[in-house]
Amino acid sequence: MSDATQDHPSRAESIAGSSVARGADAPSEGIGAGRKPVSGPDGRSGRLRLAGAAAVMAMVAGSTVAFAPAAAAVISHPDTESAAARTAVAELTGDHPWEAAIPDDFQSRQGYRPVVADGLLVDPRGGCSSPIPLPLDFDNACKAHDLGYDMLRYAEREHRPLGPWARQAVDAALEQRMYAACSAHTEPLVRTRCEVLAGVATTAVDLNSRRQNYATPVPEYVFGTELSGTALGRQVAAPAAGGVVALIALLLGIRRVRRRGFAGAMFLRREPRIAY
């Protein structure tokens, strides 16, 4: 063997040596074999949580936009509307709702006499009946909303229905009063939960109003559930229940996958290529 050959190791020896060096630097398979990858599902589930939170917050923020009066929602033909009902709705949704003038024959037509509760004129028979627990703080806001809808029905029975502005005003008052009730809570978690539920409830109501073109409320049913009626709870039940069930199923699915140790990131990660 020549001197040159002795001074320079063969290619096979170089590759073997480099492999040994890499093996020394790499962590042993026995060490931490039971550990989960640091950048495995935790990062992905974190992103899913952020996306879910962003969707909820977008829905809550979007409800404020949804209740903004449209350009067409004006009293374009006041002469064709019931003057008594028009005045009542304007006052019920104004700054002094407890002083609203109720038509004299409202009780005989609608079957009850409005009462004052917490500074609001309300339907004493109404309320927020829902399979999804809503804060008790919403009770009077729901009852006032029921009264507002009954005032729209009163005008319809006179064959002098109110324009879209009236239903939008009643729905907007519901939103404002629900969020006002939430603002009374000082504990951040309780207040946030309250505001999320307010967003779900008011968005469901507004979607139903849009479906009916902001006309006089009439009963509608989806899968046997009434979306519009004498109580707010039935309006909220169907869309809110479906959304909550879907969210719970998603969270449980993510948790189950993480417990079983299926690291989704392992399928996406690529081992570095070694060039020889």
The pLDDT tens digits along the chain (276 residues) read: 544 444 444 444 444 454 444 444 444 444 444 444 444 445 554 554 554 455 445 444 444 444 444 433 444 466 789 999 999 999 999 999 999 999 999 999 999 999 999 999 999 999 886 657 789 999 999 999 999 999 999 999 999 999 999 999 999 999 999 999 999 999 999 999 999 999 999 998 999 899 999 999 987 655 555 544 444 444 444 455 555 555 666 666 666 656 665 444 443 344 444 444
264, with CB counted inside 10 A (0-12, 13-18, 19+), is middle
Question: Residue 160: its pLDDT value, please?
Answer: 95
CA angle 122, 125, 131 (to 5 degrees): 105
Angstrom distance (rounded) from CA 152 to CA 143: 15
Please write the tens of the pLDDT for every residue from 163-207.
999 999 999 999 999 999 999 999 999 999 999 999 999 998 999
> What pTM was computed for the model?
0.57
Rg from Cα positions in the chain: 32
Q: b/e string for 180-204 if b means 16 or more Cβ within 10 A?
A: ebbeebeeeeeeeebbebbbbbbbb
Question: Residue 226: its pLDDT value, please?
Answer: 56
